Structure 1
Amino acid sequence: MYTSAFDSTRETRMRLMVQVYLEPLFYQYHVDLNLFAYRHSYERSCPMFQGKCIDDGITLVLIGMAGQSLDSDIYYPVVWSKYHDQQFGYTTIFANRTCLHFSYHHSRDDKIVDQFILQK
């Protein structure tokens, strides 16, 4: 839905369509976490809505850092992007009714390089 990477016109149109038509529904129905993997890297946002960090927003996580070769795109510094990485890795998620713990590990050494907790 969002990326701080420079992208092509086709990707920009697709991303904008998702932002216009799906993001309001996700927010209306209190979706807390959106995982997507179109790009081949890792990026996590703050809880956000319509490009702005807000307390009750949606945390977006790009988890495309496994499988095919990683992208070599240019990623721009933006306020909502809290962590970005272009290395092979994997994620783990532990959740119960009130808490979700998410962690991102580098494949080469299993080191946790990003993590967050969402609570209800």
Structure 2
Amino acid sequence: MEKNNNTDSAAQAGLRPALGLLILCQTLEELGLDYEAASSITGLSRSQLETPGYLIRSDQEIAFIEAALSANARPDLAYLVGRRYHFGVFGIWGLALICSENLLQAFQIAQEFIELTHSF
């Protein structure tokens, strides 16, 4: 598997982990839906998305999601993908949130360290 970028300079270059798109692809695949249209439009292959630490641009991520949604008009798709996002998917950021003493602290940590995650 390939690694495409230096993760130290990723935040400076506006790059993000491809993990979010992999979760979308896995959901589409399990539902028997098409993710290949989104791959061809963005140039992101499934093997790239499966590569640990693979980084993508935010515009690639948005284009991939838009293409996947337009190719698969299923009203519950966002819900089904969203169910797969748990604290562990977000790495150290998710761990910090789940270990917060209260909701206010979780919000403060989430905002302060948003760069540690692949969330927009």
**TM above 0.5, one fold?**
no
Give me the TM-score of the superposition, normalised by structure 1.
0.27
- The structure where helix makes up a greater share of residues is 2
Give me the TM-score of the superposition, normalised by structure 2.
0.27
- The structure where strand makes up a greater share of residues is 1
RCO comparison, higher one (Cα < 8 Å, 6+): 2
